[in-house]
Amino acid sequence: MNILILGGGGREHALAWAFAQNPKVDQLFCAPGNAGIAEQASCVALDILDGAKILAFCAENAVDFVMIGPEAPLAEGVADVLREGGILTFGPGREAARLEASKAFTKEICAACGAPTARSQTFTDRDAATAYLAAEGAPIVVKADGLAAGKGVTVAETPDEAQAALDAIFDEGPGARVVIEEFMTGEEASLFILANGTDFIVIGSAQDHKRAFDGDEGPNTGGMGAYSPAPILTAEVTERALSEIVRPTLAEMAARGTPFQGVLYAGLMIENGAPKLVEYNVRFGDPEIQAIAMRLGAQLLDAILACAEGRTAEGEVNWAEDHAMTVVVAARGYPGDYARGEVIGLPAIDLPGAQIFHAGTKLRDGEIVSNGGRVLNVTARAATLAEARKRAYATLDAIDWPGGFARRDIGWRVLGR
C-alpha cells in the first residue's frame, strides 16, 4: 500500500514510525512532515487544508490510504473530499469533527444521549452569560466554543477570573460563543477509540501533563509528557466509559446521519470510579499517541485499516504487559514566545526501547534545527513504567540542546516525584 499521512508533528512522526514497520506498506508519504519523519517517509509540501490538492496528489502517486493527523483538516472537511474522491481515509468528516470543533455541539450530543459530563450552558449573549456567571460563582470553567489549540479554556478559581475570561472571548468580536460549565473534581485520563459508525476498537489509554513545569505548575500547553496505560482506567472504569459515554455518543452521531469514523479521543474526569466527559477530540492525542504507538508498533496500522474498512472485529490489538512514556522537549519560552532555528545535537545511537520522535524540527544544511514550541518527544517502552521512565530520561539526557527544556516529573501521579 501507498500511504499518505497528513501533519508534521510528534503525533505524525510516531504514526510514520509505526506504519513503516508494517510489511503492508510500500511507500509512505507525509505532508508536510519534519526532519525526523523524513527518515521513514517522503515528506511533501502540500497544503493539508486543501482537499482538492491532496486528492490530486493521491491520484498522481497511487496513494491507497490517507491518515489525517491533526484536527484542522478534519474540521475543514478534508476527509469528506477525499472519501468522495474514492480514497480510503481515516478521520471524521466535517459534521462529525464538530465533536472537537465545537464544545457547544459536544454538550448538545451529551445531553441528547445522556452521557455524563459537567453541567453547562452555552451563550452567545454577553449579558446573559455574565448573569449566569454571577449566579454560579466560582470555581467555574469558561470555554470558547471553537478550535483553540488548547488555549480556549479557563478554569477560573474566582468570579473575577471567570468574568475576565468571558470578556476576552466576547471582545474577540461578533459571533462569539461560550460554554460555561461546572468545575469537576477528580483525576483526568484519556481513552482512545477507533470508531466506524457504532463499531469500535479500544486503542489504549494515557495520561497527559498539560502544565509547562514540574509539579503541574505554569501555563497550560498542548501536553508536556504522557504515559500509557493510565492505571486509573481500570477494566471496570473503562467499561463504564464505553457503555455510558462512548457507545451512546456513537449511536447518537449515527442516528443523526453523521456517523463517526476516525479516532474518538475521550478526555475523562474520573471520581470514585465514575467517568465523566471533559471533552472529545477527533484525532490522536499528542503526545499520548507517541506512547501508545511505541507499545503497538506495526499493529497500529492494522487496527486503523480494519476500522477504516469496516472490519473492526478483525482489528483487535494484542496488548503486551508493557508501559510507555513520552517526555516532551520544548523550546525555552514555550508556550509563549520562543526561538527557532537552534541546532539540536541528537545522540548517535538509540538506547534500547527508546525513540526520539520529532515534533518541531527541520533540516537546515544537513543539520537538525528547532522549528516549533514542542520540538522532540523522547519515548520509551519497558515492562514497568519506572523502567520506561528511566530509559526515556537517559535518552533525553544524551540530547545536546541548551535551548530546550523538559519536565523531569512525567509520571509523578503513578511513580511519585
Binding site for ligand AMP (CB under 6 A): 118, 141, 150, 153, 155, 181-184, 188, 210, 267, 278-279
Q: Which of 145, 208, 252, 409 binds ligand GLY (CB under 6 A)?
A: 208
| Smallest separation (angstroms) from ligand AMP to the CB of 280 | 9
Give the residue with the Cβ less far from ligand GLY, 190 or 299: 190
Q: CA-CA distance, 373 to 393, in Å (whole number)? A: 20
Residue 350 β-bridge partners: none
| Smallest separation (angstroms) from ligand GLY to the CB of 159 | 28
281 binds, among ligand AMP, ligand GLY, none (CB under 5 to 8 A by kind): ligand GLY
Give the residue with the Cβ less far from ligand GLY, 64 or 216: 216
Opening angle at CA 164, ends 160 and 168, nearest 5:
170
| Smallest separation (angstroms) from ligand GLY to the CB of 369 | 24
| Smallest separation (angstroms) from ligand GLY to the CB of 215 | 19
223 makes contact with ligand GLY (CB under 6 A): yes
Q: CA-CA distance, 341 to 372, in Å (whole number)? A: 9
142 membership: H or E segment, kind and range: strand 140-144
Residue 269 β-bridge partners: 188, 276
Read off the amino acid at residue 97.
Answer: A
| Smallest separation (angstroms) from ligand GLY to the CB of 34 | 17
For ligand GLY, the binding residues in 243-282 under the rule CB under 6 A are 281
Q: Which of 76, 145, 286, 409 binds ligand GLY (CB under 6 A)?
A: 286
Q: CA-CA distance, 28 to 17, in Å (whole number)? A: 10
Size of the site for ligand GLY (CB under 6 A): 7
181 binds, among ligand AMP, ligand GLY, none (CB under 5 to 8 A by kind): ligand AMP
Three-state SS string over 182-244 comes to ECCCCEEEEEEEEEECCEEEEEEEEEECCEEEHHHEEEECCCCEEEECCCCCCHHHHHHHHHH
285 binds, among ligand GLY, ligand AMP, none (CB under 5 to 8 A by kind): ligand GLY
Q: What residues have CB less than 8 Å from 28, skipping those under 6 apart?
A: 2, 3, 5, 16, 19, 20, 40, 41, 42
Q: CA-CA distance, 12 to 19, in Å (whole number)? A: 10
Give the residue with the Cβ less far from ligand GLY, 7 or 222: 222
Give the residue with the Cβ less far from ligand GLY, 29 or 405: 405
Sign, CA torsion 264/270/276/280: negative
Where on the chain is the footprint of ligand GLY (CB under 6 A)? 208, 222-223, 281, 285-286, 288
